[in-house]
A and B are shown apart, each in its own frame.
Chain A
Amino acid sequence: MEKNKDLKDNELNVPIAIELAKKQQEISVASFFEKNRHLLGFDNPRKSLLTTIKEAVDNSLDACEEGNVLPEINVEVIDMQNNRFRVIVEDNGPGIVKKQIPNIFAKLLYGSKFFKLSQSRGQQGIGISASVLYAQLTTGNPARITSKIGKKHDAHYYELHIDTHKNKPDIIKDETKTWNKDHGTRIELDLEGSYQKGDQSIDQYLKQTAIVNPHVTIIYTNPKAEPIIFPRASDKMPKKPIEIKPHPYGVELGVLMSMLKLTETRTLQSFLTNEFSRVGSGTAKQICENAALLTNTKPRNITREMTEKLIEGIKKTKIISPPVDCISPIGEELLEKGLKKEIDAEFYCATKRPPSVYRGNPFIIEAGIAYGGKQNSEESMKLFRYANRVPLQYQQGACAITRSVINTAWRNYGLSQSRGALPIGPITLALHIASVWVPFTSESKEAIAHYPEIIKEIKLALQEVGRKLASYVGKKRRVQFESKKRDYIQMFIPHVGEALKDLVNFNDSEEKKVEKLLAEILEKKRGKLEQVEAKNLEYDEEFANIGKEEKEDDQEEKNESKEK
């Protein structure tokens, strides 16, 4: 009623649209994420603290690998009371030139990785600046960055805020510093958070990172001021990923249109050969022919309809798969080694699928399992997910990896499984997807999108490890059966001895001899009992316990909450 009245009143004056227009304005990315911070992984204090560390560490590792330096990352989390934490992440990477520091850390969607197709941890150029924004929102304190690019250069120190309206860095302090480090970058943030051990903890994240990045040393000081060191297990840098151009298969209409608009090439023919991988002049001609477009059409003049034709043309043309040497997988051996360190099991195996392609992006799936041992056989499978060597800790349910695990028939491999659920059994699965562009379901990079090609490859990898598992379980069962049989036979040996004693008339010591001989004959006849359960010498209990919930802590927390 009242609204109607307002409308009437305004009718005579100005159209309401004009009034409304006053409020309509451009929203900066920074403002958008200020309101939608959950999209970036800052939904709650515990996760925010983890996301911040994760973004900083991912960036450090990417930087070191790009700079060809064996990474040594220092992570420190200081409890500042009142749910505030100071996070310090320092690396020995190549450093950042002075001019770029404010943009990289205090401007969202600014980065080096978005426009190139190459396997890296970071992708969009949002993560670390989002952390800076989050810190600023929760404590008001600026981000403090130090970076040095070489022995002979000074270290630069910045204190930065983000101007959320303009999505621009706001430089609070800019000075030169001496730093007893040849090169590297250090970021210090104060933010609201909460620290807790257990699954999805910082400790877990760092440990899992260490497992799949054996070339990395991480020195971690947790909020209880306990130092934990994850020393590097290998001095070999992973094979450096190679940057590639997109492959025509799977390129989408919108992307193709913007590529056509932005290209510097002058003909469709040269556009195709220059902007895509695996397209030579022959293939380009073939595409044009199949699309019924002229090879010398100017890219700028290509309309939406023509672009659609072009896509059809691409689909009709046979183009060889994208180069796959651009991906750097962990490798079966290291994956298995990582599992051995973490899980005390009796059987380990890993597999690496040949490279495959989704939407024109090459990717590789690797899977490893640890079975049996001290793992609980009543619980669901434990799942470790990795994308480009980064552990994924949240949103397991939404992830294509989880979907693939659920859709695999584990009963064939000796585990029990109800419909639509993870299998039950004493098993841990580690699954890694490496790609030039990992399709996450959201900016917070927690779950892999459900591309059919990816799901299919994951399933194939799971089937491979599943088959190995089944053959192990079968073998174990056979050996157990054999051992049971032997025990059964052995049980009757004394009876044979006793009967012969009466039949042949010998004494007790001869009887013992006969029994011993019978045992020997049995052993000789049935062969040595095979030892199927491998002894895991690499298991490190101390390492395995890192990040696990401590029972005492739980008690304390419970007591605390009771007091409250």
Chain B
Amino acid sequence: MKKTKSNVALNEIQNIGNDVYTRIKKKRAPELKMPLRALSNVKYDPKDGFFELLGKMKERTLTAATIKTFAQTLRMMAHAKSVIQNDDITTKREMYYISKNWAEAAFKEQPESDTVMEDVEAMMMVNREQMGFIPEEKGGEVAGKLIVVDKDPDTGKEIKIDCTKFGSGAYSIPTSVEHLKFDTNAKFILAIETAGMFQRLVKHNYWKKSNCILISMGGVPTRALRRFIRRLSDTKKLPVYVFVDGDPYGIGSIYRTLKVGSGNAAHINEYFCVPKAKFLGITPQDIVDYKLPSHPLKDVDLKKIKDLLKNDPFILHHKEWQKALKQLQSMKVRAEQQALAKWGLNYVIEKYLPQKIKHPEKFLP
């Protein structure tokens, strides 16, 4: 399975190399065209449920503005080719260091290298793991009613990992999740923004009480985490509820990216998002209803709200979200998940979550 996928990437790399070469032979300026990865180049269709690329392309060729990235893109592809052929991997950070051999074509900072990597993905419409590029970041943690079926890296034998048996710890999602299988009888998945809230729910066995799977996202969900929840929820037909801070970042970055993907990764959104996710809280209305202690919104928060209302195709599609964000905007405050502790440490387990989960129809889309 992995081999054939890599071969797809390998073939694509060679095809692009040959195209460039042929153009040069014909004395025509070589060029690389790739989709523009930005919010301005995506549309949101609720039927498909994720941000899809529009037709805008960017082009790299023999111009002063693009020649450097043109050369870097080709060099990175050449590197990917040898990595695939040797069945090896390169972490994103390693890729950045490898470029230090390229003299003037070296990347100055890792973000430059990451950007080119994502461009290569977008150009070939493959996912970086298929080219042997591995991210550094962790995928997230899982606890609750779930058995993950993985393989032993040495023997290839199946390993069953029971996520109820980590005690006060949790199962760590690997960077590549495509080969995993699942076994569960849980009712829903609860994706949580902060590790602190996750810890509280694990500590008091919330998953047992409500028969669910708890997943800690730790900020904006990684690709692996998005893919994990997607595969789990699709194969086991589980609803996904998202529990984040009641602020523009929790709504506009964490929840939105989990549900429909991002502009920057628009080329892979189709597989790396969870369209069925629903927003449990903290909603702006929760701040009022639960009289939560709040913090004033900073300028960056207000700017983020404005930006979401103006440019985000997902928000623009959902009136409820516009209303909620406008409410936040007029209240000029935000509230964290853990603000519920004001009413007692286990208020969230005893009152808040049960009240919420009783009425999933009231969740924000």
Contacts and interface: CB of A to CB of B under 8 A. Distances in A.
Nearest to A481: B64
Interface in A494-514: 495-496, 498-500, 502-504, 514
Given A495-B102, A500-B17, A502-B78, A514 B67 contact: no
B29 A496 contact: no
B25 A517 contact: yes
Contact of B18 (A492, A504, A525): A504
Interface in B231-286: none
B27 interface: yes
A485 B62 CA distance: 11
Given A503-B81, A518-B24, A521-B29, A492 B71 contact: yes
6 contacts: A489-B63, A496-B71, A499-B74, A504-B17, A521-B24, A521-B28
A476 to B, nearest CB: 19
Given A504-B21, A521-B62, 17 more contacts: A489-B67, A492-B67, A492-B71, A495-B71, A495-B72, A496-B74, A499-B17, A499-B74, A499-B78, A500-B17, A500-B20, A500-B74, A502-B82, A517-B27, A521-B27, A522-B62, A525-B29
A488 interface: yes
B62 A498 contact: no
A432 to B, nearest CB: 45
**Top 6 A-B pairs ranked by shortest CB distance?**
A503-B17, A499-B74, A502-B78, A495-B71, A485-B64, A492-B71
Nearest to B79: A502
A502 B28 contact: no
B71 A520 contact: no
Main secondary structure of the interface of B (DSSP, over half): helix
A1 interface: no
A527 to B, nearest CB: 13
Which of A491, A496, A502 has the most C-beta atoms of chain B within 10 angstroms of its own C-beta? A496
Interface in A474-494: 485, 488-489, 491-492
B130 to A, nearest CB: 17
A514 B21 CA distance: 8
A524 interface: yes
B17, B29, B64, B82: most-surrounded residue (chain A CB, <10 A): B64
B14 interface: yes
Nearest to B66: A489
Instruction: Tell me whether chain A's interface is mostly helix, strand or loop, or mixed.
Output: helix
A492 B27 contact: no
B64 A489 contact: yes
A500 B30 CA distance: 11
Contacts of A517: 24-25, 27
A520 B29 contact: no
B298 to A, nearest CB: 41
B21 A524 contact: no
Nearest to B15: A503
Interface string B53-76: 000000000111001101110110
Contacts of A491: 104
Interface string A56-84: 00000000000000000000000000000
A87 to B, nearest CB: 64
A495 B20 CA distance: 13
Contacts of B14: 503-504
Interface string B138-176: 000000000000000000000000000000000000000
Nearest to B75: A499
B95 to A, nearest CB: 14
B-side interface size class = 20 to 34
Contacts of B75: 495, 498-499
Interface string B25-58: 1011110000000000000000000000000000
Interface of B: 13-14, 16-18, 20-21, 24-25, 27-30, 62-64, 67-68, 70-72, 74-75, 77-78, 81-82, 102, 104-105
A544 to B, nearest CB: 40
A454 B61 CA distance: 57
Contact of B70 (A496, A502, A525): A496
Nearest to B25: A517
Interface string A248-285: 00000000000000000000000000000000000000
Nearest to A491: B104
A355 to B, nearest CB: 50
A499 B71 contact: yes
Interface string A515-537: 00110111011000000000000
A498 B72 CA distance: 11
Given A492-B67, A495-B71, A517-B27, A500 B21 contact: yes
Contacts of A514: 21, 24
B29 to A, nearest CB: 5
B62 A489 contact: yes
Contacts of B72: 495
Nearest to B16: A503
Contacts of B78: 498-500, 502-503
A492 B68 contact: yes
Contacts of B17: 499-500, 503-504
A450 B102 CA distance: 66
Contacts of B81: 502-503
Interface string A175-213: 000000000000000000000000000000000000000
Nearest to A496: B71
A492 B77 contact: no
A502 B105 CA distance: 16
B21 A495 contact: no
Contacts of B16: 503
B24 A495 contact: no
Contacts of A522: 62
Contacts of B24: 500, 514, 517-518, 521
Contacts of B27: 517, 520-521, 524
Contacts of B70: 492, 496
Contacts of A503: 13-14, 16-18, 20-21, 74, 77-78, 81
A499 B81 CA distance: 10
Contacts of A520: 27
A518 B62 contact: yes
A511 to B, nearest CB: 11
Contacts of B28: 521
B16 to A, nearest CB: 8
B238 to A, nearest CB: 44
A492 B75 CA distance: 11
Contacts of B105: 492, 495
Contacts of B29: 521, 525
